Amino acid sequence: MKFQFGALLLVLAACGPVPVEDEPAIVTEVVEPEVPEEPPALEQCDAADYRPLIGTPLVEAAVVSGERMRVFNVNDIITQEYLPQRTNVVSDDEGLIARVYCG
């Protein structure tokens, strides 16, 4: 019985908190990674030519839909394929050109 009681005390003592030793503080330094600046990607469509038309009425702009041009309203249902050579001209509910982009 004394042996069992001694073993029980030994097990309970092992479950107690571990004393914390004085540890030196860890000092960290924030280092910003150097990211090389990439040149701006060149657009493969004519969107830059049509961006000055943003804010003008679509009916007054000389924009014609075609194979490389897609004109649609923000509420229209369109396909989601990405064609980098295609220029997309988006009009808002008021009929003004709201956005021009490639894809």
Enumerate residues 6+ apart whose C-beta is below 8 A from 57. 95, 96, 97
**Mean pLDDT (whole number) for 25-52:** 76
Q: Report d(CA 70, CA 103) in Å as an integer.
A: 9
- Quick one: CATH architecture of 47-102? 2-Layer Sandwich (3.30)
How many residues make up the chain in this entry?
Answer: 103
Q: How many CA atoms lie within 13 A of 40 on its CB side?
A: 3
pTM over 0.75: no
Distance between CA 46 and CA 44 in Å, rounded?
7
Distances (CA, A) of 35 to 30, 32, 50, 92: 15, 9, 32, 38
Assess whether pLDDT exceeds 80 at residue 90: yes
Average pLDDT, the chain: 80
Q: What is the pLDDT of residue 89?
A: 93
